[in-house]
Copies of this chain bind each other. A is one copy, B any other.
């Protein structure tokens, strides 16, 4: 599901302004105005590429005289030393946009890479890896794209596009049955209603409420499996809570439909990339 320039160009423009400010004094003072250069974007680690068009667009937004040719596609597994794209054009522009382009690309690729590892860890099970709303302020659309590129699926985008009744809503707003009924009455017919459960008693109540999706939060494997059994297809099941690469397969094998992993967007290390210049 591709990204649109409308979605990422304002982010790039703001990031360039943030970095360049009153001017790239180093480049302007040391590099001649008419110097042309060629630069190759290189992967320095194993990982999954995400955002190649976004990263390269950084350069052409700064200067339409830059041209770029991609050598890899989003979703591709890349290896250290692999060329990802070649950029040619005014040397000053390549140097000035370099850091912003890499910052965005290595973050998106970091999320795609971590997602891919989770997806591979549950290979052969029926579960989907999904993201959360634990994203970086301002970058949600890009990070949710990176999750898809890594083979994951998106959970809801924000507070506005699905109902997810969590423990704090129940603490304030009443029990599972009442909450699901109230949400169903108000929510658009296009949305599903999901409710969080921490105990088997809540799971029973959630089944009775007719919730579309049941979030099984922080349960041990046994309780998880029992929950899936009790629900037995009457609702989608989602496991969440401190899911790690070491634990995700066992969770998937309980038969849940979805496993949500906050770390995909809040703690993925950046993928190491660099830009190598020649004149």
Indicate whether A201 reaches chain B with its CB closer than 8 angstroms: no
A156 engages B29 (CB within 8 Å): no
Answer whether residue A163 sits at the interface, using C-beta atoms and an 8 A cutoff: yes
Bitwise interface map of A from 128 to 162 toward B, beta carbon under 8 Å scored 1, else 0: 10100111111111001100000001111111111
Q: A residues bordering B, Cβ < 8 Å?
A: 1-4, 6-7, 11-33, 35, 37, 39, 61-62, 91, 95-96, 98-100, 102-104, 106-107, 110, 128, 130, 133-141, 144-145, 153-169, 171-174, 178-179, 182-183, 185-192, 194, 213, 236, 238, 257-258, 263, 266-267, 269-270, 275, 277-279
With contacts A6-B16, A161-B191 known, what are 9 further pairs, Cβ within 8 A?
A6-B17, A18-B138, A22-B140, A22-B157, A27-B169, A171-B278, A171-B279, A189-B236, A267-B269
25 A–B contacts from the bound complex (CB under 8 Å) = A4-B20, A6-B13, A14-B138, A15-B138, A19-B158, A20-B160, A22-B141, A26-B165, A26-B169, A29-B182, A95-B168, A99-B133, A103-B133, A104-B137, A106-B134, A128-B189, A136-B139, A137-B138, A154-B188, A156-B188, A162-B191, A190-B192, A191-B191, A266-B269, A266-B270
